[in-house]
Amino acid sequence: MTTKTITISPVTRIEGHAKITIHLDSRGEVDDARFHVVEFRGFEKFCEGRHFTEMPQITPRTCGICPVSHLLASSKACDAIVGHEIPRPAKLLRELMHMGQTIQSHALSFFHLSAPDLLLGFDSDPAARNIVGLIQQQPAIAIKGVRLRKFGQELIKLVAGRKIHADFPVPGGVNKVLTIAQRDEILKGLPEAFEHAKFALELLKGYHKANLADVEDFASFDSNYMGLVQPDGALELYDGKLRFCDSTGKMFHDQISPDKYLDYISEAVEPWSYMKFPFISKLGYPNGMYRVGPLARVNVCSHIATPLANDELKIWRAKGQVRASSFYYHWARLIELLYGLERAQQLLNDSEITSTDVLVPNQPTKREGVGVVEAPRGTLIHHYWVDENGRIEKANLIVATGHNNLAMNRGVQALAKKYVKAKKLQEGMLNRVEAVIRCYDPCLSCATHAVGQMPMQVELADASGTVLDQATRG
């Protein structure tokens, strides 16, 4: 029986609004732990009645961290409603923009949000355990992170016109071409960006080696995995088909067309969170738990189509196909960061990248459209239904962080059981619990399209609900 509840609020250095509660039994042992998302905005309702061409401008406001993902998923859903293939150069430009986002978002996650734990220590002074503390204590490293993120953001600006909430992809293609001068300017920044990405990888591998026991057991648990792959099974972020693998890496659904997602994924709601709990339909709830995002994508892919990232994949797979510890999200993220840079380089060197053939007419010809991309944090699904004039009748969104909801809860439980020894709440312990969440780099902003910000506070309550102890950090 649960006799005490620990609440951590707000959960900081994650991109969203949330709380964690840890429930203790009568012996003071951890009975259950829950990750609560505490914001709701209602995109799935308030988009009704808007013209479908507005969706790529409205839905990115779900999230300012990965707005490009929403922009692209939305544009792809709108392309399906238009019913024509978009020109190849438009596709290249969209993917290039997407790589810019992958780079900036993964750099942000690693350097700005997680590196303070890894470099300054989980038990270091909370007031300095952040990017600013990192700038002050390890300026050389922090600046690399700042500059790598800046490279991704500048790439987005050069391709799309502005860094956050650009209006560049539109139904039927894109509304701007890339000039040769702009292309060359991006290319000029690539060598430095590669250096920083490789530096981050080495740093992480060093941390991994030095803390092997801890990282292998950092909220490690079995789950299924889902991600987009290319026709030959290679890692894919912009297009491709869905692949599902079990905890051993064995595929059980492969090359699933993303517009069939409703046949494979369902969602559940719990009264204690505004974020829904997607699950694999045939496995039921909650057994159908699966993970998405960097860890899942790197686990499910057969290989990576760019050489440097593929070499890193081989190192990652030294001990087998699948890594289960949540810590490996960080590593997978950096492999993808390297892929993002390599792929951006390929796209920039494509002769059609500066083509002016970037848009087809965008009258609605279909009544329904699904658009799916791999956002930095995982698979993002936009699904719209329109009337004959192209007005939205219904919209359904399943965001990256949502897919991970069951897994994040499981991760918090696993870690709470290891580190929370009731009675006295210790700061470093709480930070570790929070760090599990941070592994998933949850974009609660996205998740609370339906969700929003992730606060942290710990509360102990007895079975009658009386609060016995409370710890708010600071």
Partner 1 sequence: MKKTTATKPAKKPVRKPAAAATPPAPAKVRVATMWLSGCSGCHMSFLDLDERIVELVKLVDILYSPIVDVKEIPDVDVGIVEGCVNNNEQEHELKKLRSRCKVLIALGDCAVTGNIPGLRNQFTLKDCLLRAYEQTESTKISCIPNDPVVPVLNAKARPLQEFVKVDLSIPGCPPDADTIWYALTELLAGRMPQWTEKNLRYD
Residues 345-384 that bind partner 1 (CB under 8 A): 383
Chain length of the chain: 474
Q: Where are the alpha helices (DSSP H) in 161-306?
A: 180-210, 212-216, 294-300
Within positions 129 to 148, which residues make up the interface with partner 1, using CB under 8 A? 129-132, 135-136, 139, 143, 146-147
Task: State which of residues 3, 6, 13, 436 lies at the interface with partner 1 (CB under 8 A).
Answer: 13
Task: Compute the chain's Rg from CA coordinates.
Answer: 22
Whichever of 34 and 94 has its CB closer to partner 1, that residue is: 34
Q: Is 379 helix (H, G, I), strand (E, B) or coil?
A: strand
- For partner 1, which is the closer residue by CB, 19 or 94? 19
| Maximum separation of any 2 CA atoms in the chain, in Å | 69
Instruction: Output 67 or 171, the one with its CB closest to partner 1.
Output: 67
CA–CA distance, 377 with 399 (Å, rounded to integer): 9
CB of residue 56 vs partner 1: minimum separation in angstroms? 13
Q: Is 398 in the site for partner 1 (CB under 8 A)?
A: yes
Q: Which is nearer to partner 1, 352 or 368 (CB)?
A: 368
Answer whether 404's CB lies under 8 Å from 18's CB: no
Q: Report the alpha-carbon distance of residue 156 to residue 138 in Å, rounded.
A: 28
Q: What angle do CA 339, 342, 343 make, to 5 degrees?
A: 80
CB of 131 to partner 1, least distance (A): 6
Question: Which 409-468 residues touch partner 1, going by CB under 8 A?
Answer: 431, 445, 450, 452-457
When the beta carbons of 310 and 405 are compared against partner 1, the nearer one is 405
Record the tokens describing residue 187, joined without a space.
């290319």
Instruction: Give the DSSP per-residue string, 410-466.
Output: HHHHHHHHHH--SSS--HHHHHHHHHHHHHT--BHHHHTTB--B----EEEE-TT--
Q: How far is the CB of 442 from partner 1 (least distance, A)?
A: 12
Burial label for 49, CB within 10 Å (0-12, 13-18, 19+), is exposed
Q: What angle do CA 435, 302, 221 make, to 5 degrees?
A: 30
The reply on whether position 262 binds partner 1 by CB under 8 A is: yes
Nearest of 373, 394, 368 to residue 258 by alpha carbon: 373
Query: Shortest approach of partner 1 to residue 395 CB, angstroms?
Result: 9
Contact with partner 1 (CB under 8 A) among 3, 6, 9, 373:
9
For residue 120, state whether it binds partner 1 (rule: CB under 8 A).
Answer: no
Residues 149-208 that bind partner 1 (CB under 8 A): 149-150, 153, 161-165
Residue 112 interacting with partner 1 (CB under 8 A): yes
Token digits for 202? 């080495």
Phi, psi angles (nearest 5°) of residue 337? -60, -45
Binding test (CB under 8 A) with partner 1, winner from 4, 6, 21, 323 = 21
Determine if 273 is a binding residue for partner 1 (CB under 8 A). yes
Instruction: Identify whether the C-beta of residue 335 lies closer than 8 Å to the C-beta of residue 329.
Output: no
Shortest Å, Cβ 390 to partner 1: 18
474 binds partner 1 (CB under 8 A): yes
Number of residues that bind partner 1 (CB under 8 A): 86
10 binds partner 1 (CB under 8 A): yes
Nearest approach, Cβ of 314 to partner 1 (angstroms)? Answer: 34
Residues 49-78 that bind partner 1 (CB under 8 A): 58, 60-65, 67
